[in-house]
Structure 1
Amino acid sequence: MGGRIYGQAPRDCGLVDLQPTEMMFWQDLFIKPAKQFEPVLPANLQQFGPLIAAVMRAEGIDRWIDHNVFMCAKTLWVSAAESMNRRGWHTDGFMSSDINYVWSDCYGTEIWLADELVSLTQDHAASIDEMTFLAADPFYGSIVTYPDRHLIRLDETVVHRVAEYPVARMRSFVKVSLSKGYFNRVGNSINHQLPLPVAYEARTAERNVPASKEAA
């Protein structure tokens, strides 16, 4: 997309009061193809039904139906030395139309809000360096978090990072992603009730690369 669009605030979609307890690690699980309404959830992810319903309401039924949907769900022990997600400033769906909804029960995602919206180089590596520079200097903006258990809508304009974990504890994090493409990296969780209709591709160490392969 490009332009002076980066550093925007996410949309706070309100409280979804869930309290997961089962340890889990689901990564970019395919739960719904485009043109279908009902998601296909493994039994131990059905506890997140209220969260998925909140995504449907926030995004609108037409847009929900029109997109492929993927899900991350993690409940893990975290500490200053152990993070469940990669650290560092980035945007989800960089250079794409992907939409991501995130939810956590503690240590909420940190958002960088620009005092004036900025442009970023449309390159996955250069843009991360620029975000890191801008967010480190309070002259350009501020860092905020949203209340625990609130569902937050992100697009590519929202610069954010994983919070630090000063006190070790269990943490739950859920992300629901809407995309015109497919999240098809090797190592993603497999929905054995809903096969991915494209081949898997090798995962790389690079950050901020668009996660989805556009549907043909």
Structure 2
Amino acid sequence: MKNTYGLPPIKIASDVIIDNSEMYFYQYLPVRLSGKGSAILLPNQLERLRTIVNKACEDFIKEFGADKYYLQNIYLTAKCLYTPTGSNINRPGWHSDGFMTDDINYIWSDSLPTEYITGNFQLIQDHEISLYEMNHLIYDQKLKCQSNCIYRLNQSVIHRPQININNPFVRHFVKISFSKEQYNLKGNAHNYLLDYNWEMKDRSLERNHPIK
């Protein structure tokens, strides 16, 4: 079975400037859980990201409705890290966030903005096979998001991290993920402001789907 991919990301905000003076790494930190109240609970050290989180939540409600919003778990991935030449702080390669799901993701970065391709690509509905297919697609051109802008992505957006070809520097990247699922891989950040206790499962060596 194949589905169609190749939509562009949707820009929802511009000129969002966030302090990058402290390095950190948080992977899929829950900041709101379905059935656990409406408040977005950010650790103090991540309060600087509330503007991005709020804009993502406002756009989600506007686009998909409040009823769907309150059924979502909301996760924050935030990385402010040293980026060597020839590398990126995210895994390389073309991929789709939330592949084969209804998950919605919002991304922001202050530099090396995400690259994406558009078209009418038919991909097999299998996580490993589709990754191979995505990285062997024939496309006319690759496009780039803009720095300091927030974009909405669904599973149809094929994108990849841009590689740093210049001198090493500190890059700031943020992703807000909306999902009905529990992201339950070992190594994900735990939010001690929320009351939850999930069974966490081993990560795979290859690119991980967020749940097992």
TM-score normalised to structure 1 length: 0.89
Confirm whether residue 17 of structure 1 aligns to residue 17 of structure 2.
yes
Find the aligned partners of 1:177 and 1:149 in 2 and give their Cα distance. Answer: 18
Higher mean C-alpha displacement, 174-183 vs 191-200: 191-200
CA offset at residue 3 of structure 1?
2.3
Aligned to 1:191: 191
Aligned to 2:69: 64
Unaligned runs of 5+ in 1: none
SS at 1:44 equivalent = helix
Find the aligned partners of 2:203 and 2:195 in 1 and give their Cα distance. Answer: 19
Map of 1:127-138 to 2, 5 A cutoff? 127-134=130-137, 137=138
Map of 1:40-59 to 2, 5 A cutoff? 40-59=41-60
Confirm whether residue 123 of structure 1 aligns to residue 126 of structure 2.
yes
**Deviation sequence 1:172-205 (CA, Å, 0-9, x none):** 0000000010111001111112144421111111
Report the CA distance shift for 1:122/1:159 in structure 2 as closer, same or farther (over 3 A): same
Higher mean C-alpha displacement, 27-36 vs 194-203: 194-203
SS at 2:13 equivalent = strand
Confirm whether residue 7 of structure 1 aligns to residue 6 of structure 2.
yes
Find the aligned partners of 2:206 and 2:7 in 1 and give their Cα distance. Answer: 24
Find the aligned partners of 1:19 and 1:104 in 2 and give their Cα distance. Answer: 11
Structure 1 residue identity aligned to 2:69? W
**Deviation sequence 1:8-53 (CA, Å, 0-9, x none):** 1111112122232211001111110114321111001111111111
Confirm whether residue 77 of structure 1 aligns to residue 82 of structure 2.
yes
Find the aligned partners of 2:188 and 2:151 in 1 and give their Cα distance. Answer: 23
Aligned residues: 205
SS at 1:102 equivalent = strand
8 Å CA contact retained: 1:95, 1:210: no
8 Å CA contact retained: 1:30, 1:196: no
RMSD of the alignment, in Å?
1.7
Find the aligned partners of 1:20 and 1:100 in 2 and give their Cα distance. Answer: 22
SS at 2:121 equivalent = coil
SS at 2:27 equivalent = strand
CA offset at residue 80 of structure 1?
2.4
Confirm whether residue 111 of structure 1 aligns to residue 124 of structure 2.
no
Map of 1:65-214 to 2, 5 A cutoff? 65-114=70-119, 117-134=120-137, 137=138, 140-167=139-166, 168-207=168-207, 209-212=208-211
